[in-house]
Amino acid sequence: MVPGPQRCPPKGLSHLCEESETGGGPQISLHTPQILPCHRARAALRLTSQQNPPSCLEVLFFGFGWLFFMRKLFKDYEVRQYVVQVVFSVTFAFSCTMFELIIFEILGVLNSSSRYFHWKLNLCVILLVLVFMVPFYIGYFIVSNIRLLHRQRLLFACVVWLTFMYFFWKLGDPFPILSPKHGILSIEQLISRVGVIGVTLMALLSGFGAVNCPYTYMSYFLRNVTDADILALERRLLQTIDMIISKKKRMAMAHRTMFQRGEVHNKPTGFWGMIKSVTTSASGSENLSLIQQEVDALEELSRQLFLETADLHATKERIEYSKTFQGKYFNFLGYFFSIYCVWKIFMATINIVFDRVGKTDPVTRGIEITVNYLGIQFDVKFWSQHISFILVGIIIVTSIRGLLITLTKFFYAISSSKSSNVIVLLLAQIMGMYFVSSVLLIRMSMPPEYRTIITEVLGELQFNFYHRWFDVIFLVSALSSILFLYLAHKQAPEKHMAL
Amino acid sequence: MAALDRVKVLVLGDSGVGKSSLVHLLCQNQVLGNPSWTVGCSVDVRIHDYKEGTPEEKTYYIELWDVGGSVGSASSVKSTRAVFYNSVNGIILVHDLTNKKSSQNLCRWSLEALNRDVAPTGVLVTNGDYDREQFADNQIPLLVIGTKLDQIPETKRNEVLTRTAFLAEDFNAEEINLDCTNPRYLAAGSSNAVKLSRFFDKVIEKRYLSRDGNQIPGFSDRKRFGGGTLKSLHYD
């Protein structure tokens, strides 16, 4: 509703001023500036009209999270509890808003006080969600699944949440993450702990991903699988199932004849019953229990054979894919990524051994090198802004995409119809913590003039500690993934040839 | 022990609908105590009297092959599962009455088993569009079973049952709705037991009796991949 000039009494103006300072919302932006003479109102108006981008982008992120949940994660399940979907989308929306604020920082959108305000607000909300809301709902849904505790769900959910808070608080003790001058209920306390968990997760995923990526892309590691191998294995599987069937037929026939003869096969009760069972032939039931044991062993064998056959089919498909153009492209990328992975491991080791934390970010270093060594002169400030925007943008997009893909794979692998709610909430928690720590770590990739806002907002965290911790966990994770993949790779052809 | 003739019936459905409990109930007449995830295929055997009470009564083995997994599995898992779909004489489609998506997926399950797999598109078909033509020349008898009936509140029961009746009609199949943890749904003489018995009779007829009533001999060719060079190790 746009009031025309004649409908703007001073009372209405001050009302507008108040509204706009509390972030009134979109309806004020419809006013055109020239009808508001007072300076305060004009400044506030500019503020609110520029406040639109964050809020409508937030709604966009929320919608994206909602769609992702519905289309990808829950495509085989029915959403019974909409709370789960809302919580997931909210976590996603607020996490992405943090990245958006970093981009705004670099591009200089909005003015710095409003940016600071948005940062603080967003940080508070996301901490609220990650520390209070999501763990509480996880506890609630876990408790709902257990039949015994169903009646007093809320009570037990609170108990679970309190346990979580206790361990969460204790997490801060072994790490030198805080300077002692902060109070007990400050944001820094919460952020530091969330940061530790998130950085650990990031390093673990990053280490495993760095090793796994060349392993899956390169066709050098693909085992040779022929159609004859697959047929032989399938034949064995069907033979095993046939054996199971014939044994089960014997058991079924034995049960039927015993039933028809009027024998009951429940356990003999009482003292005399036991004595009788010793003397009279219980050979029928003994035979049956022997057959049952054989059937159990054969069933276990059939399960293993099924999994191996599925594995061989998957390998064969990968071999066929590697012969296509896309496959060759990924193979080439694999070589490139393996070099990158080795370099990262090397750098992590150097950082730990020589106890250094990179002082300059890649953008400034790159510009220094070009200016000093290559002698190319260009407008440093202009280019530094654009290059850091692109670099940070790429980092953000790839990390969001990589995380969502990993989470989806994880979800498909371990969820079932009962536990899907709990698992999705756990994934939302992981996602939130991951994104918060990315903000912590991305600080190092930005030139100093853009770092200030993160340092201001997050308070005096020991940023160097987080980088060191990341390097340590990354190294551990990468080396153990190499070991694990080596063992798995060695074991597979032996298993395969023993058939 | 005289070797009886056998028929093979597949039990298909989404993960978690209760196929293993159902098969256990049908074959052992007992409720399954600790259901766990089925990996691959689990088989059980039921002895069925064809045309019970008439002079033509004959006993057959019915093999129930409970194939695990979900309809959206990786294609490597689907190719492995395809091994179980050879020479099938009947299909039981199981869905969960409390989960609409499991009913919608039944169409894809039956197509997968009948070897005419529809390539899954990115868009979820919400009303389970069903094309009768794809099933027009289908000779294999189908039965639709809905599980977890006890978990539906009385007020919603009619609505759910009408929906499933339409579903069963689409497949040109009978339908049974029950709760796998309660044996009384399949008690002898109940309408469910009669429907089940009729279904098994139909399967046996399709397999062993040709149209003019002549009996097709048992122990006949068993379709194998890669040619029939392998002797059937099936009968002991």
Is A312's pLDDT higher than 70?
A: yes
Contact A62, A125 (CB under 8 A): no
* Facing B15 at nearest CB: one of A241, A253, A416: A416
Nearest CA to B147 among B209, B200, B203, B99?
B99
| Residue B19, in any domain of the structure | yes
Q: Is A353 exposed, middle or buried (0-12, 13-18, 19+ CB in 10 A)?
A: exposed
> What pLDDT is attached to residue A127?
86
Confidence of residue A17 (pLDDT cuts 50, 70, 90): very low
Rounded to whole angstroms, the maximal C-alpha distance in chain A is 110
CB–CB contact A252 B77 (8 Å): no
Residue of B nearest to A307 (CA): B40
Q: Indicate the residue of A241, A243, A310 with minimum beta-carbon distance to B77.
A: A310
The verdict on residue B220 lying in a domain is no
Question: What is the rounded CA–CA span in Å between residue A400 and residue A185?
Answer: 30
- The mean pLDDT of B10-23, rounded to a whole number, is 85
- B contacts of A313 (beta carbons < 8 Å): 75-77, 79-80
Rounded Cα–Cα distance for residues B14 and B12 (Å)? 7
According to DSSP, the β-strands at B142-147 and B41-50 are: unpaired
Give the total number of structural domains in chain B: 1
For the full predicted model, state whether its pTM sits above 0.90: no
Kindly give, in sequence order, each residue whose CB lies less than 8 Å from that of residue A193, ignoring residues fewer than 6 positions away.
A168, A169, A171, A172, A177
Domain assignment of residue B70, given as a range: 6-120+130-209
Q: Is residue B111 part of a domain?
A: yes
Can you tell me the distance from the alpha carbon of B169 to that of A77, in angstroms, rounded to the nearest whole number? 24
Q: Answer yes or no: do B101 and A231 touch at CB < 8 A.
A: no
Question: What are the CB-based long-range contacts (under 8 Å, 24+) for B112-119?
Answer: B112/B12, B112/B71, B112/B78, B112/B81, B112/B85, B113/B10, B113/B12, B113/B85, B113/B88, B114/B138, B114/B140, B115/B82, B115/B85, B117/B78
CA A246/CA B43 separation, integer angstroms? 10
Of the candidates A75, A237, A248, which has its C-beta nearest B83's C-beta? A237
Express each pLDDT in B216-225 by its tens digit: 554 444 444 4
Answer for the pair A172, A192: CB distance below 8 angstroms, yes or no. Answer: yes
DSSP E strand boundaries for chain B: 5-13, 41-50, 58-67, 90-96, 142-147, 174-177
Considering only CB atoms, which chain B residues are within 8 Å of A238?
83
- Tell me whether residue B219 is in a domain: no
Whichever domain contains B197, its CATH number is: 3.40.50.300
Q: A336 vs chain B: nearest CA distance in angstroms? A: 28
Q: Which of A30-44, A194-208, A453-467 is most confident?
A: A194-208
Structure tokens at A100: 């958006």
Q: How far is A319 from chain B (nearest CA, A)?
A: 13
Ranking A22-26, A224-228, B86-90 by mean pLDDT, the lowest is A22-26
**pLDDT of B128 above 60:** no
Identify the burial level of B84 via C-beta atoms within 10 angstroms of its C-beta, where 0-12 means exposed, 13-18 middle and 19 or more buried.
Answer: buried
B64 lies in some domain = yes
pLDDT of A21: 38
- Give the closest-approach CA distance of B142 to chain A in angstroms: 22
Contact A138, A479 (CB under 8 A): no
pLDDT digits (tens, 9 = 90+) for A353-385: 887 666 666 667 777 777 777 766 666 677 777
Confidence of residue B233 (pLDDT cuts 50, 70, 90): very low
Helix, strand and coil in chain A, % to nearest 5: 80, 0, 20
The tally of CA atoms less than 13 A away on the side-chain side of residue A142 is: 16
Nearest CA in chain A to B226: A231
Q: In the numeric block, which tokens belong to residue B81?
A: 């599962």
Kindly determine whether residue B39 and residue A237, on different chains, have CB atoms separated by under 8 Å: no
Q: Determine contact, residues A420/A74, Cβ cutoff 8 Å.
A: yes
* pLDDT tens digit sequence for A76-118: 677 777 888 888 888 888 888 888 888 887 777 777 788 888 8
Average pLDDT value over all residues in chain A? 76
Domain-embedded: residue B78: yes
Each residue of B156-179: pLDDT tens digit? 888 888 888 888 888 778 888 888
Facing A306 at nearest CB: one of B16, B80, B124: B80
Under a CB-based contact definition with an 8 Å cutoff, are residues A462 and A357 in contact? Answer: no
Whether A252 and B46 lie within 8 Å, measured CB to CB: yes
Each as own residue / partner, the long-range contacts of residues A369-376 (CB below 8 Å, 24 or more positions apart, any chain) are none
**Does residue B222 form part of some domain?**
no
Per CB-CB distance under 8 Å, the chain B contacts of A243 are 233
Q: How confident is the model at residue A4 (pLDDT cuts 50, 70, 90)?
A: very low
Q: What is the pLDDT of residue A271?
A: 67
Structure tokens at A167: 């361990």
What SS3 class is residue A127? helix
* B209 CA: distance to closest CA in chain A (Å): 23
What residue of B is the nearest CA neighbor of A318? Answer: B76
Determine, for residues B101 and A417 on separate chains, whether the beta-carbon distance falls below 8 Å. no
Across B36-156, where does the E strand assignment appear? Answer: 41-50, 58-67, 90-96, 142-147
pLDDT at position B225 is: 40
Is the residue at B199 inside a domain? yes
Q: Is the pLDDT assigned to residue B119 strictly greater than 80?
A: no
Q: For chains A and B, count residue pairs whose Cβ atoms are closer than 8 Å.
A: 93
Q: Give the strand pairing for B41-50 and B58-67.
A: antiparallel
pLDDT tens digit sequence for A104-162: 877 777 777 888 888 888 888 888 888 888 888 888 888 887 777 667 778 888 888 88
